[in-house]
A and B are shown apart, each in its own frame.
Chain A
């Protein structure tokens, strides 16, 4: 149980285009979903936390107008990288949690590798 899928697995796009990444919890309801980013040889960095039905909470330094997060249901969260630029090229990983005290286990999706030309 606790499977999280992410689509697409990888995407190559031109500078200036927008890219949407989907994160789905397949066999459980995810009260909270997280979006991380990992640059080569760097640690995963939390970008934002999203709770179903409410606005996402962004970490310091992450532009909320550039990285649009929508958590419309208990099984789906999307991250849209708007007007992508080469510096946005990275490995984007989502995770999902059932939420609540004592349930902080996060289940990670397989990640999306974004390359912006």
Chain B
């Protein structure tokens, strides 16, 4: 089983719609969780950290389910600029350890 699994998509979604995708992780000892965004041929950029209590940042909501070992990202009122690959990222350690990246979910917002 892969350490971090995501549906690669692509998800084709009309502008203004709400879209959500999940990610599962295999290491139950994982302590930190993140969603990164990566545009084509660019470096990944931190979108948001995922806290146990869930967190919201504008149109983006992230949730963590430790029992089922998955995290989710919900995007409301999607914009054309949201088109990107969304990477689920897990840090198994408690400090500055290397991150484990999922392959990413490709999202395309259509006008």
List residues of A whose CB falls within 8 A of some B CB.
31-32, 34, 36, 41-46, 49, 59, 91, 93, 95, 97-106, 108-111, 113
Cβ of A46: which chain B residues have Cβ within 8 Å of it? 98-100
Docked Cα-Cα span, A46 to B99, in Å, equals 7
Q: How far is the CB of A15 from chain B (nearest CB, A)?
A: 23
- Determine if B97 is an interface residue (Cβ-Cβ < 8 Å): yes
Interface-central residue, A44, A46, A105, by most chain B CB under 10 Å: A44
Contact check, A44 vs B97: say whether CB atoms are below 8 A apart.
no
Name the distance in Å between B88's Cβ and chain A's nearest Cβ.
9
Residue of B nearest to A2 (CB): B46
Choose one: A34, A102, A105, A110; the contact of B43 (CB below 8 Å). Answer: A110
- Tell me the nearest residue of chain A to B94, going by C-beta: A101
Q: Which residues of B contact A31 (CB under 8 A)?
A: 96
Contact of B45 among A43, A98, A108 (CB under 8 A): A108
For A32, give the chain B residue with the smallest CB separation: B96
> What is the count of residue pairs linking A and B with beta-carbon distances less than 8 angstroms?
60
Q: Are A104's CB and B97's CB within 8 A?
A: yes
A45 to B99, CA, bound (A): 9
* B95 and A102 contacting across the interface, CB-CB below 8 Å: yes
Shortest beta-carbon distance from A52 to chain B in Å: 12
Please list 11 pairs of residues, one from A and one from B, whose beta carbons are closer than 8 Å in the complex, sorted by A's number.
A32-B96, A41-B103, A43-B103, A43-B104, A44-B99, A46-B98, A59-B98, A97-B96, A100-B96, A104-B96, A105-B46
Bound-complex Cα distance A59 to B101 (A): 14
Known: A103-B95, A104-B95. A42 touches B41 (CB 8 A): no
Known contacts A42-B103, A44-B101, A104-B32; decide if A99 and B96 are in contact (CB<8 Å).
Answer: yes
Instruction: Name the A residues within 8 Å of B4 (CB-CB).
Output: 43
Q: Are B42 and A34 interface neighbours, CB within 8 A?
A: no
Contact A101-B95, Cβ < 8 Å, known A43-B87, A43-B101: yes
